């Protein structure tokens, strides 16, 4: 991850000059900057229906709803404690009419949504396969970071099921698993249409990729300019990323 935690979080984080508040469990999973990058990667169309898989505390859906007043978001979260936290965050930000939080496991996606019922699916999924790194002893963090409740294949199946034909899927994922992601998407009926590499600063190694895929077969892949989070090591945010936090 570029950043393990959102700057300054203890029990709550404030975005957009305090216009959006996100409460988080002390000692539990905390959303990272990766969620903020993903929520600004794409532009939605008016009145899109969006599914946020693994919504956690609800941060991605809330950022999208803040930025685009016409959209409707459904957040699916497997952990009951996090699902309830997301509902409280949505209510606290007066977004309950536009964001619906559903407790459920994406491996059984057919129980929670009808086929082809969403225009877009977004996901900041667990990055680590089982057996590739030490699993956090805190269950809330472990499930969010490791593929304990389903892997990439399960995620792609859920995306394909939920999306209308021509619908879009947007993810942020480790760069060293980008080829695996592309192959799994292709096998699951999704084709990458846009890709943006994410760097901590100019000259750093690429750690993450932002990917947009379309349900269907696409011949062209648009490679976007790289995204630099900071202007230099330990420096300020780049002008682009700094803008992500402005009201």
d(CA 61, CA 20): 12
Give the model's pLDDT for residue 129: 58
Q: Is residue 4 part of a domain?
A: no
What CATH number should be reported for the domain holding residue 133?
Answer: 3.40.50.150
- Cβ-based burial of 11 (10 A; exposed 0-12, middle 13-18, buried ≥19): exposed
Q: Is residue 7 part of a domain?
A: no
| CB atoms near residue 73 (< 10 Å) | 28
Q: Has residue 219 got a pLDDT over 90?
A: no
- Cβ-based burial of 243 (10 A; exposed 0-12, middle 13-18, buried ≥19): exposed
Give the model's pLDDT for residue 50: 98
Q: Is residue 204 part of a domain?
A: yes
Domain count along the chain: 1
Q: Is residue 110 part of a domain?
A: yes
Higher pLDDT, 90 or 144: 90
Find the mean pLDDT for residues 211-222: 89
| Residue listed under structure tokens 């919504």 | 55
Give the model's pLDDT for residue 150: 59
Q: Is residue 1 part of a domain?
A: no
Give the model's pLDDT for residue 217: 84
Domain residue limits at 63: 12-244
Give the model's pLDDT for residue 1: 33
Q: Is residue 3 part of a domain?
A: no
The mean pLDDT value of the chain amounts to: 87
Q: Is residue 5 part of a domain?
A: no
Per-residue pLDDT band at 134 (split at 50, 70, 90): low
Could you tell me whether strands 20-23 and 12-15 are parallel, antiparallel, or unpaired per DSSP bridges? antiparallel
Classify residue 201 by its DSSP letter. S
Higher pLDDT, 196 or 221: 196
Find the mean pLDDT for residues 119-129: 85
Q: What is the pLDDT of residues 199-210, one digit of tens each?
A: 999 999 999 999
Terminal-residue alpha carbon distance, the chain: 25
Angle at CA 51, nearest 5°, toward 45 and 54?
A: 140
Q: Is residue 224 part of a domain?
A: yes
Classify residue 182 by its DSSP letter. H
Give the model's pLDDT for residue 29: 77
Higher pLDDT, 190 or 146: 190
Q: What is the pLDDT of residues 153-174, one digit of tens each?
A: 999 999 999 999 999 999 999 9
Q: What is the pLDDT of residues 1-14, one digit of tens each?
A: 333 344 443 478 88
């Amino acid at each position: 991850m570029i950043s393990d935690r959102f700057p300054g979080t203890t029990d709550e984080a404030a975005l957009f000059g305090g216009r959006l508040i996100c409460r988080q469990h002390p000692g539990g999973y905390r959303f990272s900057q990766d969620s903020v990058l993903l929520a600004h990667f794409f532009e939605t169309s008016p009145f899109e229906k969006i599914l946020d898989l693994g919504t956690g505390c609800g941060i991605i859906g809330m950022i999208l709803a803040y930025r685009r007043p016409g959209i409707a978001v459904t957040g699916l979260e497997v952990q009951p404690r996090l699902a309830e936290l997301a509902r409280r965050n949505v209510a606290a930000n007066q977004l309950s009419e536009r964001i619906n939080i559903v407790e459920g496991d994406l491996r059984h996606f057919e129980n929670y949504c009808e086929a082809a019922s969403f225009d877009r699916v977004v996901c900041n999924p667990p990055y680590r396969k089982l057996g590739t790194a030490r699993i956090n002893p805190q269950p809330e963090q472990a499930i969010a970071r490791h593929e304990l409740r389903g892997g990439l294949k399960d995620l792609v199946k859920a995306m394909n099921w939920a999306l209308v034909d021509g619908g879009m899927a947007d993810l942020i994922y480790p760069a060293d698993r980008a080829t695996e992601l592309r192959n799994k998407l292709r096998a699951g009926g999704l084709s990458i249409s846009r890709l943006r590499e994410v760097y901590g600063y100019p000259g750093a190694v690429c750690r993450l990729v932002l990917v947009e895929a379309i349900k269907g077969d696409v011949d062209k892949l648009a490679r976007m300019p790289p995204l630099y989070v900071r202007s230099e090591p330990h420096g300020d945010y780049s002008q682009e990323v700094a803008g992500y936090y402005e009201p």
